[in-house]
Structure 1
Amino acid sequence: MSLATPDVPTMLVPDFPFGYDEWLRHPDGLGSLPSHRHGTPVAVIGGGMSGITAAYELMRLGLRPHVYEAEQLGGRMRSVPFPDHPGYFAEMGAMRFPASAASLFHYIDKLGLCTAPFPNPLAPQTPATLINLHGGRQWAGTAEDLPAEYQEVSDAWAKALQERAALATMQDAIARRDVPVIKALWDRLVREFDDLSFYGFLASTPAFQSFRHRELFGQVGFGTGGWDTDFPNSVIEILRVVYTKADEDQVSILDGAQQVPRGLWAHPAERLAHWPEGTSLAGLHDGGTPYPAVTRLARDGDGFRVEDATGAVRQYPAVVFSPHVWTLLNRIDTDPGLLPDEHWVAVERTHYMGASKLFVLTDRPFWRDLDPETGRETMGMTLTDRMPRGVYLFDRGPDEPGVMCLSYTWNDDSLKFATLSAEERLDLLLGKLAAIYPGVDIRSHIVGPPLAITWETEPRFMGAFKSNLPGHYRYQRRLFTHFRQRDLAPEHRGLFLCGDDISWTAGFAEGAVTTALNAVWGVLNHLGGRTPPGNPGPGDVFDRISPVDLGP
């Protein structure tokens, strides 16, 4: 497999620039197992996007995945239907996906799912955006409609990226899949910026010497909106998003993002090494449902012992673990010997971002009504420095119900909602929005109760997604590279971590998919299998493109 196929959009992450989409598309497949391994049960803990991806590909290789899920298939791809209107959904977790997520779209396309442009602020598909800062209101259709001060901020960000982070050079190398250039540039930047926060990067950039510019950038940001809640995080986290265009050209999945993992669960697979053509993951599980929550995980000789919430105990030669790694600390009685001490330190140091959302269903997309005095639409996608922070509007036409995400918040802004019920949140938000949109009666259009979530209070998640703090690169490297276990002691082999908090691009489903594929390679290797000579996997080329090692 070539690692330099040009002009194919991809989130080719500079830490480990492996072409997962190419590996998936290659006609020789991902690999093969010795025939005596066919039908071997392998535990896959977690039924989110990462766990289901791993289980699906392990099934195609001839193994029998046993998927364990504590709540519902989908994880943070959670599409909640509105009561009495099951065809309309609140996207509680992942809701927008960049075109560069090539490995994720391999499965979206396989399932034949339809997408639509996501109404991000100032995006071409967004009719209007209202920016409400310091009590002022600024309407805009495009960035060019904003006052000069906003353009100064945009120019300062572009200047910072070009002068300090070589944006054009890196994006060109990623587009061409020029791995040597990507690695040479990125490894230098990691050494330079590992200890620097996003805010520190801005404050130490000459173009951002104005506090006012930094404040405006935090509120309005770029791409999907304000980024001030990311200010404490490592600037390396932000550069990855920019380099890979993960914050651009985003789409939503019509009829709900949860269709992707649920669809793969039921999908009749093709080109199977052992099972009959058309076998599905659901078909390999009694009753078509996953096993219940895992409560204990321990070493058992050369394999593993997994106990679930019913008390049932099963043995496996390998385990794939995809939930948030903090569940190894407090939700699962985990044998400490399963991971080396340095990996446990990395698990403990994992930092999660909080997030809250509140959705309502409306009788129609009334916000598209034109104001007779101004000629503008009644409401627009809204960015504000007040409690709602981000308001997103979704419609399927004038005669259909509309969906409003009345608030999308992060970290401290999310915690402001954590102790409030959904109804209390709604009352509060309607009061705040009345000040931004005087005379607009949102409540009169709402149909049914609000739907809300705060991910940091979800017991199986405890946060929306991982985001590294300054100085955390070494911890992230340990977790990401765990799939390649050649250098681990035998008692530490056979358990494979995956999920977007293991990836370099946490919060993106692409990272969930690619780390699942790492785990698939790990299981394949662990059980005596191999990849085709013409289609090496991530572990086969690891030494050539491995993440930079910053040392002890």
Structure 2
Amino acid sequence: MQELTAFGPDFPFSYEDWISHPAGLGTLPKDVLGAPVAIIGAGAAGVIAAYELMKLGLRPVVYESSQFGGRLRSQSFEGTDGVVAELGGMRFPVSSRGFYHYVDLVGCESRPFPNPLTPAAGSTVIELEGERHFARSLDDLPEGFHQIAQAYDEALRSQAAFPDLQAAVRAKDVAAIKAIWDPLVKDWDERTFYDFVAHSEAFQKLDFSHREIFGQVGFGTGGWDSDFPNSMLEILRVNLLGLDDDQRYIVGGVETVLHRLWNAAPACAHWPEGTTLASLHGGATRSRATALSRAGEMIRLRDQWGNEDDYAAVLATCQTHLLTTAIETEEDLFDQKMWMALDRTRYMQAAKTFVMVDRPFWNDIDPETGEPLMSMTLTDRLTRGTYFFDNGPDRPGVICLSYAWMSDALKVLPLSAERRVELSLQALGKIYPGVDIASHIRGQPICVSWEADENFLGAFKGALPGHYRYNHRIYGHFMQQGMAASQRGVFLAGDGVSWTPAWVEGAVQTSLNAVWGIMTHLGGRSPEENPGPGDLYPERGPIKLAD
């Protein structure tokens, strides 16, 4: 069977092939080599775009408002080396071939993520409405769970031609993908995930309790009830591209990938051997970007200290609503339909609570049950999802006590880290009575609520029904040839600009779209033997729905 990659479905383009082609991404006119271009945000999209633009011979100037890494944020526990809490992205499906191109390029190691019912987790406990189930695989769970899995598979098959569509994605058959996907866009843009599930023939044969369990436990990585209000198109993409399957984590923290890219010295046009992003920046990014305006044919960017510089192009990788709340953006830089799309982009809440423990004690066997003391845990209690990270028997372990979204994340928003830990321990104490988790905790807990961070105001996009048109405008904004001159030169990237929010592959792909856009904006072009995304966009681009 052919390898499943994140090929489409909205825009079927092989980004991993484009960036690994020996002909390179393209060339620029000699008179623009060394020209500075600004990049707002040092997350995955910003750093990858900066790396590729440097290779093309431009001088990327990265502005970062707070912490390097964006939502690939790995925070080390105090006094440790490589014992981290992954506050943002923490699990990366192997179908994300664009992302893994850079992981492999910088020599980072990945290992299977301890998701529920996977060998990496070892064992899983599902506790709903006070009833506890221990399992090492789906086969160990009661029949009702099997019925739910079968019903969802049948819903995908009957309502979305799923097997044929995924086979087309595997084969990278553009015509076949679009023949199936484009009609689905028209049919499903205005319908929710819950509608897809509840009104499928397969689920209508089951009780409400089955849908309730599906929402709490879901498929793959856990419960999906937080996504029930979202457009079904987003969930279809996750299933179709294998984003919720076969996931891995980056040893030592995913932020390491970006730090290594920052310090990597690839062969570059224009720049001397040994040039790195770090060397071009004197070792540090610029400060927070606070204003964007037109300055003739250039874009003027002001930072938080009042410094102003003019750039031939600016790439904004921040959350789109920061262009109206945190960055004073001249209105004429986007047309009004784009402003509507930027402002209507809806971001979901997410909260995580981590603690470091003295050792991976959860692997100890309970002599009475013969089971591990604790297991990867899915529950309807406050914690929702609890994950265990084993760094070896002689090293501290890490427990993600709670990973919750939307209303569950809001329940802990005003609480201190210590209080969040207390509530998590109380919930887990009901599931694992007699296990003294607190006695193993070392150091201070690490927590995050992305909606409370002024530089994000939310974790990741969650498109509502009817939002496809907005995403279409934002995603295709890198194709600027037909725009008014006053609107050219500002580009957008990030997973929230992509069709696959919450997944780093979306950040990678949109950053590469922007690289192509900036290159062509400055008079460059991709080689004929390696056409870029913009070269194929007119024939393969996403279907446009009438306004």
Same-fold call, TM cutoff 0.5? yes
2: CA distance, partners of 1:278 / 1:468: 43
Distance 2:424 2:21 in 1: 50
Take 1:344 and 1:325, find their aligned partners in 2: how far apart are those partners? 10
Given the alignment of the two structures, is residue 273 of structure 1 paired with residue 269 of structure 2, yes or no? Answer: yes
1:284 corresponds, among 280, 286, 291, to: 280
1:219 matched residue in structure 2: 216
Secondary structure, in 3 states, of the residue corresponding to 1:17? coil
Q: CA deviation at 1:273?
A: 1.1
The alpha carbon displacement at 1:284 in A equals 0.4
**Residue in structure 1 matched with residue 61 of structure 2 by the alignment:** 66
Confirm whether residue 430 of structure 1 aligns to residue 428 of structure 2.
no
Identity of aligned residues (%): 51
- The question of whether the paired residues in 2 share the 8 Å contact of 1:297 and 1:334 is answered with yes
Query: Contact between 1:524 and 1:530, CA under 8 Å: does it hold in 2?
Result: yes
1:8-157 equivalences under 5 Å are 8-157=3-152
Question: Alignment partner of 1:539: what SS?
Answer: helix
Distance 2:209 2:25 in 1: 51
One-letter amino acid of the structure 1 residue matched with residue 491 of structure 2: F
CA distance in 2, matches of 1:8, 1:137: 37
Q: CA RMSD in A?
A: 0.9
Q: Is the 8 A contact 1:68 1:291 kept in 2?
A: yes
Between the aligned partners of 2:14 and 2:546, the Cα distance in structure 1 is: 26
SS at match of 2:389: strand
Q: Does 1:254 align with 2:251?
A: yes
CA distance in 2, matches of 1:398, 1:54: 39
Task: Trace 1:250-399 onto structure 2 (pairs within 5 A).
Answer: 250-270=247-267, 272-286=268-282, 288-399=283-394
Match of 1:540 in 2: 535
What per-residue deviation string (whole Å, max 9, x for no partner) do you get for residues 117-152 of structure 1?
Answer: 000000122111000000010000000100001111
Distance 2:365 2:329 in 1: 58
Cα distance in 2 between the residues matched to 1:412 and 1:351: 15
Q: Aligned AA for 2:424?
A: L
Partner of 1:3: none
Give a deviation string over 1:25-44, Cα, whole Å, max 9, x none.
Answer: 11100000001111001111
Partner AA of 1:123 in structure 2: T
Q: Distance in 2 between matches of 1:33 and 1:173?
A: 35
Question: Is 2:191 the counterpart of 1:191?
Answer: no
TM-score of the aligned structures, taking structure 2 as reference length: 0.99
Contact 1:78 1:94 in 2 (8 A): yes
Deviations 1:127-186 (A, max 9, x none): 110000000100000001000011110110010011111111011101100000001100
Q: Does 1:481 align with 2:476?
A: yes
Task: From 448, 452, 458, give the equivalent of 1:457.
Answer: 452
Structure 1: distance between partners of 2:418 and 2:81: 20
| Whole-angstrom CA distance in 2 between matches of 1:535 and 1:163 | 38
Q: What displacement does 1:278 show?
A: 2.3
1: distance between equivalents of 2:108 and 2:31?
Answer: 36
CA distance in 2, matches of 1:269, 1:459: 34
Distance 1:108 1:433 in 2: 35
Q: For 1:208 and 1:216, how far apart are their aligned partners in 2? A: 12
Structure-1 separation of matches of 2:247 and 2:333: 38
- Cα distance in 1 for partners of 2:523, 2:2 equals 35
Q: 1:242 aligns with which of 239, 242, 245?
A: 239
1:13 CA drift (Å): 2.1
Please, which moves more after superposition, 101-110 or 393-402? 393-402
Equivalences for 1:202-213 in 2 at 5 Å?
202-209=197-204, 210-213=207-210
Give CA-to-partner distance per residue, 1:190-246, whole Å, 9 cap, x none: 000010000011111111123111101011111111100000000100000000001
Matched residue SS, 2:525: coil
The answer to whether the 8 A contact 2:82-2:253 is kept is: no
Count of paired positions: 545
Cα distance, 1:335 vs structure 2: 0.5
Contact kept, 8 Å, 1:9 with 1:102, in 2: the verdict is no
**Which 10-residue stretch deviates more, 303-312 or 374-383?**
303-312
Aligned-partner SS, 2:387: strand
1-structure distance, mates of 2:486, 2:247 = 43
User: C-alpha distance in 2, partners of 1:191/1:456?
Assistant: 32
Letter of the 2:375 counterpart: G
Superposed displacement of residue 311, structure 1: 1.1
Contact 2:2-2:171 within 8 A present in 1 as well: yes
CA–CA distance in 1 between the matches of 2:507 and 2:114? 24
Q: Distance in 2 between matches of 1:80 and 1:88?
A: 8
What is the DSSP-based 3-state SS (H/G/I as helix, E as strand, rest coil) of the residue aligned with 1:85? coil
Superposed CA offset, 1:75-127 (max 9, x none): 00000011122431000000000000000011000000001100000012211
Q: What is the distance in 2 between the residues matched to 1:87 and 1:42?
A: 34
Deviation for aligned residue 1:7: 3.0
Asked if the contact 2:4–2:242 (Cα under 8 Å) also holds between the matched residues in 1, the reply is no
Displacement, 1:8?
4.3
CA distance in 2, matches of 1:445, 1:215: 34
Distance (whole Å) between structure 2 residues aligned to residue 541 and residue 431 of structure 1: 55
TM-superposition CA deviations, 1:327-346 (whole Å, max 9, x none): 10111111011111100000
Structure 2: state its 5+ residue gaps. none
Once residues 500 and 231 of structure 2 are traced to their aligned partners in structure 1, the CA distance between those partners, rounded to angstroms, is 12
Task: Name the SS for the 2:443 alignment partner.
Answer: coil
